[in-house]
């Protein structure tokens, strides 16, 4: 199980298992936050806890949740559930301990222009720490 928390420890997340990739997105929000996302569904592999606030831009379908105390972005959550009743969620792997996530491969998503997945380039989370 992977775990992460904001800097002050108030907002926490857990990922039951190991994600097969971490997504680096270049959309107007993600590139500013500098996050690396691991995806699943709320209450399934991913659980979140703690007081938080959410930022939702305009007609967005996502809420970006952050700690109101230290400001760390912990996760995003879909604003609406799927027809099956599942709600997509992604946690910020940068809030985990580096050694626990270092070997997870990076997936690239062009959220700025094409809204498409891009090919892997062989980099892992460890390559993004510095």
DSSP 50-107: S--EEE--TT-SEEEEE-TTT--EEEEEESS--TTS--EEEEEGGGB-HHHHTTPBEE
Listed residue (25, 17, 13) closest to 93, CA to CA: 13
Residue 60 has a pLDDT of 82
Range of the domain at 14: 2-128
CB burial of residue 63 (10 Å; 0-12, 13-18, 19+)? middle
Residue 130 has a pLDDT of 66
pLDDT tens digits, residue range 74-113? 999 999 999 999 999 999 999 999 999 999 999 999 999 9
Backbone angles phi, psi at 93, to 5 degrees: -65, -15
- CA distance readout (Å), 91 to 5, 37, 40, 83, 100: 10, 5, 9, 22, 14
CATH number for 6: 2.170.150.70
The residues with which 41 forms a beta bridge, in sequence order, are 88
State the total domains in the chain.
1
Residue 30 has a pLDDT of 94
Contacts of 15 (CB under 8 A, 6+ apart): 1, 2, 3, 38, 40, 45, 46, 91
More confident residue, 57 or 1: 1
């Amino acid at each position: 199980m992977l775990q992460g928390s904001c800097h002050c420890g108030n907002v926490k997340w857990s990922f039951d298992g190991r994600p097969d990739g971490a997504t680096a997105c270049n959309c107007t929000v993600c590139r500013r936050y500098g996050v690396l996302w691991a995806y699943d569904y709320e209450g399934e592999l991913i659980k979140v806890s703690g007081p938080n606030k959410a930022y939702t831009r305009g007609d967005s379908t996502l809420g970006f949740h952050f700690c109101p105390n230290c400001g760390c972005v912990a996760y995003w959550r879909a604003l609406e559930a799927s027809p099956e009743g599942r709600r997509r969620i992604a946690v910020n792997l940068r809030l985990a301990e580096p050694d626990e996530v270092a070997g997870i491969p990076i997936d690239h998503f062009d959220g700025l222009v094409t809204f498409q997945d891009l090919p892997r380039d062989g980099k892992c989370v460890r390559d993004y720490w510095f």
